[in-house]
Amino acid sequence: MLLECSNNAMGLWSKIKGKGTEFKGPQPVGQAIMKNLPPSEMIESCSVAGPGFVNVVLSKNWMAKNIQKMLVDGIETWAPKLRVKKAVVDFSSPNIAKEMHVGHLRSTIIGDSLARMLEFSNVEVLRRNHVGDWGTQFGMLIEYLFEKFPNSEDANETAIGELQEFYRRSKNRFDSDPAFKERAQQAVVRLQSGEPKYHEAWAQICEISRKEFDKVYKRLRVDLEEKGESFYNPYIPGVIDELSKQGLVEESQGARVIFIEGVNIPLIIVKSDGGFNYASTDLAALWYRLNEEKAEWIIYVTDVGQQLHFDMVFSAAKRAGWLSADDSTYPKASHVGFGLVLGEDGKRLRTRFSEVVRLVDLLDEAKNRSKAVLIERGKDKEWTEEELEQTAEAVGYGAAKYFDLKNNRLTNYTFSFDQMLNDKGNTAVYLLYAHARICSIIRKSGKDIEELKKTGSLVLDHADERALGLHLLHFSEVIEEALTNLLPNVVCEYLYNLSEYFTRFYSNCQVVGSAEETSRLLLCEATATVMRKCFHLLGIVPVYKI
Ligand code: ARG
């Protein structure tokens, strides 16, 4: 029955002990804390236990009043208040003409969830797709395009077909024919000098990739704004100049580099052939985001393999004074790393679902399996075709997202359709069904819940009502914690526990037809509201009927 059990008294005691204090031990310190707590309608009672634990029991009236206020004023009033106003989330970011692998899918799901949490917290978020749309491979792709389609109008999506296949074939050409290789190298130079014909071919290739990527984003309902690597090209020379003027750039084996304390390889920002690289682009992008876009928090979502790259870029930016030296103040940059998705054989999943099409297949399968279960349960006779499709999609895609998000992002996880779509245990299927059941309790009561919110009152007398209420009231700080540590799994855990608290409440407290019906219906509605917000923050579409 306690909200807070604080061990501050013990901590304080260890600080003042032996320093001429009037207190005789942690117990009296606890007593003093208790006596000096300002009177508050929040607190029902307070006591000191054991060696100095200060236990505070929250007032059930205060709890009930706050939950009801949320029901009336909306869950937005429970949004965390952050110090930051504008953020960039750099996520998904696949590479043109290359595979959009499962790693990019993870980045898409995790990044979208973080962006949603920030947006909910009233932060303006720039959702950036930093696609790899620049580099030497374009010379080869462009040359191959010219060779296959001498007449540029013929080079459309259907003719080119699968872009990865196109990439593979042009790479073969590049590796086996020296004359082609020579032309491809020339093509890079001509592209970089802005020759229209080359620029058009490049844009054409990017457009085809973009259409493929968009299919995945559309399915997942993820919003992204593309500003690819090429966007930052014009800014690179100026940024390198600025860093050079600050004396950060040194010469090393013909390349220009920045040395980072504690790392034995330097960050190369101009290659020995004078060309720019991934790091030059990231420095320019960081500069742009801070200075042009005025973002205060810049978050990058990629696999852990890129950790060192980002550590080095951030260290360079700190040396340049772009970022605060101390990570607890803004402007700051954070790398959100994640582990691998493994197949049931324990190896990387990327061998089986490595391409764009396969990613789409993965989502299709999740949806089809959910649909089959719904049909098995006779829903095709009960519902319209549209309802069936929408529910299958919400459950299937939701399951795929939740299965990814529920793990601490740094751990590798094993992909399994059976586990992902299990309707028992910690899965989206279970949680979506739980939500739909709560909605059906409210519906079946025949009461107008909007009316009850205004006229009824919430009371938390039963221990299980109180426990559920207390968990609901933790919502805001849980979201804040998830954001502080950039860990969506914290929200999953909260959501799963919420469904457990609800189950306990529902098995021990009769709702419909009881004397407490109004209050308990309100508690059901509050639970459903918070669950829906959690689904929303995880990018999952809720279902209301099952
Ligand atoms: N395109 C990169 C990749 O596929 C990810 C880009 C991440 N963002 C960034 N600003 N470097 O690995």
Ligand 1 near 132 CB (within 6 A): yes
pLDDT score recorded for residue 5: 64
- Closest by Cα among 432, 342, 319, 320 to 103: 342
pLDDT score recorded for residue 144: 94
Supply the pTM of this predicted model: 0.94
Distance 448 CA to ligand 1 centre (A): 50
Total residues found in the chain within this entry: 546
pLDDT score recorded for residue 39: 84
Distance 107 CA to ligand 1 centre (A): 10
Residue 93 CB burial class (10 angstroms; 0-12, 13-18, ≥19):
buried
pLDDT score recorded for residue 343: 80
Distance 227 CA to ligand 1 centre (A): 12
Distance 334 CA to ligand 1 centre (A): 14
Using DSSP, state whether 47 is helix, strand or coil: strand
* Alpha-carbon gap, residue 160 to 178, rounded angstroms: 24
Residue nearest to atom 6 of ligand 1 (CA): 93
Distance 535 CA to ligand 1 centre (A): 27
- Closest by Cα among 483, 526, 476 to 501: 526
Distance 229 CA to ligand 1 centre (A): 9
Residue 96 makes CB contacts below 8 A (sequence gap 6+) with: 131, 132, 133, 205, 206, 209, 228
Residue nearest to atom 5 of ligand 1 (CA): 93
Ligand 1 near 139 CB (within 6 A): no
Residue 418 CB burial class (10 angstroms; 0-12, 13-18, ≥19):
exposed
pLDDT score recorded for residue 355: 46
- Closest by Cα among 309, 353, 427, 406 to 105: 353
Ligand 1 near 78 CB (within 6 A): no
Ligand 1 near 282 CB (within 6 A): yes
Interval 240-299: pLDDT, tens = 999 999 999 999 999 999 999 999 999 999 999 899 999 999 999 999 999 999 999 999
Question: Can you spell out the DSSP letters for 183-203?
Answer: HHHHHHHHHHTT-HHHHHHHH
pLDDT score recorded for residue 356: 47
pLDDT score recorded for residue 33: 87
Which parts of the chain sit beneath pLDDT 50? 1-2, 351-353, 355-357
Distance 371 CA to ligand 1 centre (A): 35
Ligand 1 near 302 CB (within 6 A): yes
Are 542 and 535 a contacting pair, CB within 8 Å?
yes
Report the atom number in ligand 1 closest to the C-alpha of 306: 12
Residue nearest to atom 9 of ligand 1 (CA): 130
Q: Are strands 297-303 and 86-90 parallel, antiparallel or unpaired?
A: parallel
* Alpha-carbon gap, residue 209 to 94, rounded angstroms: 10
Which segments of the chain belong to CATH 3.40.50.620?
A: 86-131+224-342
Ligand 1 near 143 CB (within 6 A): no
Distances (CA, A) of 507 to 32, 97, 530: 41, 54, 20
Return the amino acid letter for 460. Answer: L
Interval 17-73: pLDDT, tens = 888 888 888 888 888 888 888 888 999 888 888 888 888 889 999 999 999 999 999
pLDDT score recorded for residue 452: 97
Residue 354: count of CB within 10 angstroms of its CB: 16
Q: Which fold would CATH assign to domain 86-131+224-342?
A: Rossmann fold (3.40.50)
According to DSSP, the residues that pair with 249 across neighbouring strands are: 258
